[in-house]
Amino acid sequence: MFHIDRSEPDALAAFLGAIAVAAGAAIVAATKPGLHVSTKDDGSPCTAADEAAEAAIVAALRQGAPDCAIVSEESAEAGAPLTTSFFVVDPLDGTRDFIAGETDFSVNIAAVRNGRPIAGAVFMPRLGQLYVGGTRAYVVAVAAGGSLPDKALWQPITTRGAPAEGLVALASRRHGDAESEALLARLPVRVVERRASALKFCLVASGQADIYPRFGPTKEWDTAAGEAILAAAGGRVVAPDGSPFTYGHAERAFLNGAFIAFGDPALAPDVLQPTAR
């Protein structure tokens, strides 16, 4: 049995990783021609794949960690503050890209302890890539619904130092915003790659990119797992004033403020607001 307040972060991350890979199979199984797309109250799409993955994840979390609260994208409601330790789930992050047949979509599951993410898993079903982070961060090649290989075969990942030839920056493919573009315009950026879902955090965590600023809106389930992985790999996710991100804000419907995710902590003086330096 797992408990967020008592289990080791790496053990929690492996638990979440196995659940994310199994949820990937639910997504693949639900992916059929003519997949029904409904529109949620906020105008964003939801499919049978989102719902099947959420049901699989919630059932597995309840079985493995029965005493822990769960916040999940498709069932979260604004209201009373939660306990400060809970699982946060996005069963299908990047739904628009999923519907468009792209590879950039992910299953995100994180464990939040005292308002901070301590373990996370991000799985890309169509890429067959699982990223996990607890105390350390790893990438694992595994097909949707497959068995996780022995931990000795997991590849440890770390962020990279900012390259002298310029930064590789990441931005949302479908939800760009002017403030993020303005920040990147002030930095020595070599290329801006537009990608979807929490895969962006994983690309920074594994040293394939350097910075991902996001001033436009996101929800806690979009960032918690990615933050856990990036932090375990040596990077940071902070508000533009340098303050840490906290989770469990039911009173604002789990809406995040702006953040800057970056791999090399030495970038802080360049990317954060002057008062935060």
Binding-site residue set: 73, 90, 92-95, 222
218 binds, among Mg ion, ligand A3P, none (CB under 5 to 8 A by kind): ligand A3P
Of 149 and 217, nearer to ligand A3P (C-beta) is: 217
Q: Which CB atom, from 158 or from 208, has the smaller least distance to ligand A3P?
A: 208
Residue 227 contacts which entry, ligand A3P, Mg ion, none (Cβ below 5-8 A, type-dependent): none
Under rule CB under 5 A, which residues in 175-234 are in contact with Mg ion? Answer: 222
**Interaction of residue 50 with Mg ion, rule CB under 5 A:** no
Q: Which residues are annotated as a binding site for Mg(2+)?
A: 73, 90, 92-93, 222
Residue 264 interface partner, choices ligand A3P, Mg ion, none, CB cut-off 5-8 Å depending on type: none
Tokens of 6: 């008592």
36/175 with CB nearer Mg ion:
175
Q: What are the C-alpha distances in Å from 229 to residues 32, 158, 165, 182? A: 31, 10, 26, 26
The least distance separating Mg ion from the CB of residue 73, rounded to whole angstroms, comes to 6
The site partner of 10 among ligand A3P, Mg ion, none (C-beta below 5 to 8 Å per kind) is: none
- Binds 263, which of Mg ion, ligand A3P, none (CB < 5 to 8 A, cut-off by type)? none
Residues that bind ligand A3P (CB under 6 A): 44, 73, 90, 93-95, 172, 174-175, 196-197, 217-219, 222
Min dist. Cβ of residue 124 to ligand A3P (A) = 12
* Binding positions for Mg ion, 88-147, rule CB under 5 A: 90, 93
Residue placing its CB nearer to ligand A3P in the complex, 10 or 93: 93
Write out the residues near Mg ion by the rule CB under 5 A.
90, 93, 222
